[in-house]
Each structure stands twice: as C-alpha cells, then as structure tokens.
Amino acid sequence: MLVPNPRGSGSYGITFAQENINNWGSGPFQDIVAGVDFLIERGIADPDRLGIGGWSYGGYMSAWAVTQTSRFKAAVMGAGISNLKSFYGTFSMPRWMKMYFKGNPYVRDDMYEKNSPINFIQNAKTPTLIIHGEQDTTPPVSQSYEFYNGLREMGVETELVLYPREGHSFEELAHQIDLLKRILNWYDSYLK
C-alpha cells in the first residue's frame, strides 16, 4: 500500500505546502503516479491490479485520478470533492478555498474549473465506490451525488453509500465496520 504525501500536504515546510496553489489536481496527481510507478518498477505493485482510494482531499484525488487515467482498476472516493465551484458555494468556510485559488470562483472560474474532477467525467472508466456521511458539511454530501450521477451518466460502474447520522469522520462502530467491509469487498471485486 502506498500512502503518499503529495505536494501541498504538510510535514515538509511552507514551500512544499504551497505547491498545490492553483493546482489541486494535476501536480499532486503526478506525485502519486510517480510513487505508483516506483513501486511497479521495483516489482512491489502489480500494474494490472492497481486500486486508488482516499478520504476528504484523498477522496478528491481519487475522483481526479479516475477522470485522468484508466490505469486503476477500482477506486474509492470517501467524502471527496468533485466540483470545486459548487463546493465553494456550499462549504461552511469558503475563504479557505480563496487561499488555494487566489480568489473566489466568480472571479477565478478558470482555476476552479480546471481543477474540478467533474469537468473531466467523460474520461472516467474506473469502477468507483463513493462513500459519504449524510451529515457531512466538509464537504457536503452533494459533492458525492454530483460525482455519482456523472459516473452513471457516463456508464461507469459506481455505487453511492450514504451513512445516516455521520459527519466527516464516522463515529458509530457499526458504520465503521460496514465501511471497511464495503471498501475491501469493492477492491476484491475488481482487483482479482
């Protein structure tokens, strides 16, 4: 399992953390793919049995990945963002997004559009499990609905699972167990 720390994430200082300004999708995705390629070259990962998944920004990266490549055979988008423009309009802290895109989507529409996975949904082919807590506001569950409906319209195998009473982090033990089982079953179904 590869757990990358792509540009824009913490732990490597302010310059590294700022590397995804105006570039939420392609730059960090290049870092993830470089890690995957490294594992393939070393014989650790099987290029015919690759899966991708993540939660929150990791869910966003999973959505980005399936709209950019078909090399992953299965994906899990957990509490992810699919449309940065609608996310801005429904997020409880829109000022946070201005930091990454140097303005709001009403002025910097181009940056929000080119970094939104939903705008590349026509490229998607990867079976994708989408998971979200119904009470999540970071991001709102509408982000998962948008991506799910887009995948369905494109004929991509997908499943949307919503958990009642759950926010961004799941609290109920039964939901945590079900979540893990669903993810494992999804990967088992496609990474044979």
Active site residues: 56, 168
DSSP state of 66: H
Positive or negative, the CA dihedral 48, 153, 118, 134 is: negative
Beta-bridge mates of residue 9: none
Question: DSSP for 96-132?
Answer: HHHHHHTS-TTT-HHHHHHT-GGGGGGG--S-EEEEE
DSSP state of 162: E
How big is the CA angle at 161 (ends 132 and 183), to the nearest 5 degrees?
90
- Helical H segments across the chain, by residue range: 14-17, 26-41, 57-68, 84-90, 94-101, 109-114, 142-153, 173-190
